[in-house]
Structure 1
Amino acid sequence: MSLDAEPRIIKGYAAFAKDEELVPWEYEAAPLGSDDVEIEISHCGVCHSDVHTLDEGWGPTKFPIIVGHEIVGQVTAVGQHVKHLSVGDRVGVGAQCGACLHCHQCKNGQDNMCRHNVGTYNSVHPEGRIAYGGYAEAVRVPAEYAFKIPDELPSDVAAPLLCAGVTVFAPLKRHWTPNARVGVVGIGGLGHLAIQFAHALGATEVVALSTSDRKRKDAEELGASKFVTLKAPKDYAAHASSLDLIICTASSVLMNYDLYLSLLDVGGKFVVVGLPEDSVQINFASLILRQRSIVGSMIGARADIEEMLEFAAKKNVHPWIEKVPMAEVNMAIARLRKGDVSYRFVLEN
């Protein structure tokens, strides 16, 4: 066991204002707490949430900020109360790095719903220290939110699973029914993992739903049993009431949600994991007349992450990634804004 109780200077890439590029920056990390670990970061995925935060699309951002919440690295120091991790362990950190762990939600395995949830960045720990993310050389976080990575998962592949992976895996498991027919809206960083997980879970059908044919071949290779191109209302009508569960990873306010809801059978669920930056319009008749429901889902609890990692390792669920040196982070962000990535950027130290 190692304990580094001293503050540490950590170098990373920070944004100081909206619409500005990230620049090299360093901050003084607080002394390592008795329940904390220090992680030397080898890889960090680039999530669209990072862009939403940098652009203040979801509300005010606490600048300066180091984003990044798909972190993988090696434990280099552990607090004196940490028993389940040791120096040298390979671990990952997702979008959450803290919760009270004693409220009703936490005690019922829903710590991601804790009112005292601490985000991995753009958040503040209970003792007042600012949470900085994974576009950096290292990070210090509560040990309860550092998860051992199975040996079968390479570090670069494991990184996107910590957010994108659990974000689609958790609701798939939660709303799963035998012989489910599953649709996936948005064949991108989250959607390409949703297809793989749905296929690995044993869906009767896994249907990729898109407005163009551009990713048809990819979707089939990922495990989709059907690819449906939806360009006009008649396309939706041809596939009405054909699915039991839809995972919507898209977040455009311009989507016609009523048309997507029409694809659900009686009692079907439309699970939203992509968060639009503004309100959307839905006609309640789309729900009431077929007893459909819309369900929200946010990342996953600790148990979801652990189960997801083991499942991904066992079933060979791997994100399709493009590795980029950490120093080229601005290039990755710029390309992500243009949609020029197949399917997930991973920064590498």
Structure 2
Amino acid sequence: MEGRKAFGWAARDTSGILSPYSFNLRKTGSEDVVLKVLYCGVDHTDLHQMRNEIHNTNYPLVPGHEVVGEVVELGSEVKKFRVGDLVGVGGIVGSCGECLSCQSNMEQYCHNKIVTYNDTNKDGSPTRGGFSSAMVVHQRFVVRIPEKLALDQAAPLLCAGVTAYSPLKQFMGSNKVLKAGILGLGGVGHLGVSSDKKREEALEILGADAFLVSSNAAEMEGAANSVDYILDTVPALHPLRLYLSLLKVDGKLIIVAAVPKPLQLDAVDIILGKRTITGSLIGSMEETREILEFWADKGLKSFIETVKMDYLNEAFERMERNDVRFRFVLDVAGSDLE
């Protein structure tokens, strides 16, 4: 049995163009939370999915996986939330709950995880994302938004923020000074701290200690073998060799961005420096709660531009041109969805 009607915007083919779309939410289960969507972050992965550039897109596709909302209904067994609570939903909305990953608070690596959109719920219905008026989500995959954190500020943390936070957490508590690099200064990259026009932003606004332009051969040569790890946030095809040369012996290149075409490397570049290339997928629910509390406690700010639903297609065009500093957030509740 289907639940209430929802309104949103969906892509219907590989053009990726979004337009109004209505659908029925799945039936509310005993452990489900129904939320009215207030804000939703706009992520580069959304664009890849809308155009069928990664995975296989099932249309119509309602994107959005950085969702902030207000609880409007609760299943009979939900005890941790109340109607009126302000909550967030990130990149996954389900997992098996039984495998080693789930039991180790790493449910994002569960082989049976259910992602927030372009996937299938356990009842067989398609998952729909936060570019919509409402969602139904199992309580395990809902987090509370701290009171000190502005709701539009919270949205990017639910995917981009925790995607940077999760792999960097491994370096906390080190007894030595580590030199880190952030590759790419966009939606994810700016939350973890390119081209020369971003130098002032990196050094004076985001607090970086140094800035390198990869097209400047002299700068890159001078920085060779100097970095302990690099967080690679670039969602487009890019040459790994250039950046591997920056790593010290035993250094790590951590890839967190979905790239629509295969990346290439020369084995010698990692063998000679005992370097490691690894990946990291979003973050766990525990880590999502941690970064929200960290942002609130430290009074940190994401750099966002808030837009309405009817501006979405233009926002994605601007995203492709790198014409946003640094993250679009969609004001869903303030938009005319129909």
* Deviations 1:1-29 (CA, angstroms, capped at 9, x unpaired): xxxx9710001111111105211111011
How far apart are the structure 1 equivalents of 2:295 and 2:258? 24
Amino acid at match of 1:111: E
How far apart are the structure 2 equivalents of 1:6 and 1:233? 59
How far apart are the structure 2 equivalents of 1:183 and 1:316? 23
How far apart are the structure 2 equivalents of 1:6 and 1:19? 29
1:231 is paired with a residue of what secondary structure? coil
Which position in structure 2 is the counterpart of 1:248?
232
Which one of the candidate residues 201, 207, 224 is aligned to 1:223? 207
How far apart are the structure 2 equivalents of 1:61 and 1:21? 14
How far apart are the structure 2 equivalents of 1:280 and 1:44? 30
Which position in structure 1 is the counterpart of 2:161?
165
Which position in structure 2 is the counterpart of 1:33?
29
Which position in structure 2 is the counterpart of 1:203?
none
How far apart are the structure 1 equivalents of 2:29 and 2:38? 22
CA RMSD of aligned residues (A): 1.4
Matched, 1:307 2:303: no
Which position in structure 1 is the counterpart of 2:147?
151
Amino acid at match of 1:215: K
How far apart are the structure 2 equivalents of 1:13 and 1:134? 9
Which position in structure 1 is the counterpart of 2:178?
180
Amino acid at match of 2:69: G
Q: Structure 1 unaligned segments of length 5 or more: list them.
A: 196-209
Q: Once the two structures are aligned, what percentage of the paired residues are identical?
A: 38
Matched, 1:135 2:135: no
Q: Is the 8 A contact 2:68 2:151 kept in 1?
A: yes
* Deviations 1:199-241 (CA, angstroms, capped at 9, x unpaired): xxxxxxxxxxx3x210111112111011122214443221011
Amino acid at match of 1:102: E
* Structure 1 residue 251, shift from structure 2 partner: 2.8
- Please give the TM-score of this superposition, normalised by the length of structure 1: 0.91
Q: Is the 8 A contact 1:17 1:63 kept in 2?
A: yes
Which position in structure 2 is the counterpart of 1:289?
272
Which position in structure 1 is the counterpart of 2:12?
16
* Deviations 1:262-288 (CA, angstroms, capped at 9, x unpaired): 111111111001121111211111111
Once the two structures are overlaid, the 10-residue window that deviates more, 173-182 or 50-59, is 173-182
Q: Which runs of 4+ in 1 moved over 4 A?
A: none
Q: Structure 2 unaligned segments of length 5 or more: list them.
A: 334-338
Q: Is the 8 A contact 1:51 1:337 kept in 2?
A: no
* Deviations 1:85-132 (CA, angstroms, capped at 9, x unpaired): 111110011111111111111001110000111110001112212110
- Please give the TM-score of this superposition, normalised by the length of structure 2: 0.94
Matched, 1:238 2:236: no
Amino acid at match of 2:222: A
* Structure 1 residue 316, shift from structure 2 partner: 2.6
> 1:175/1:286 Cα in 2 relative to 1: closer, same or farther (>3 Å)?
farther
How far apart are the structure 1 equivalents of 2:24 and 2:5? 4
Amino acid at match of 1:239: A
Which one of the candidate residues 297, 305, 316 is aligned to 1:322? 305
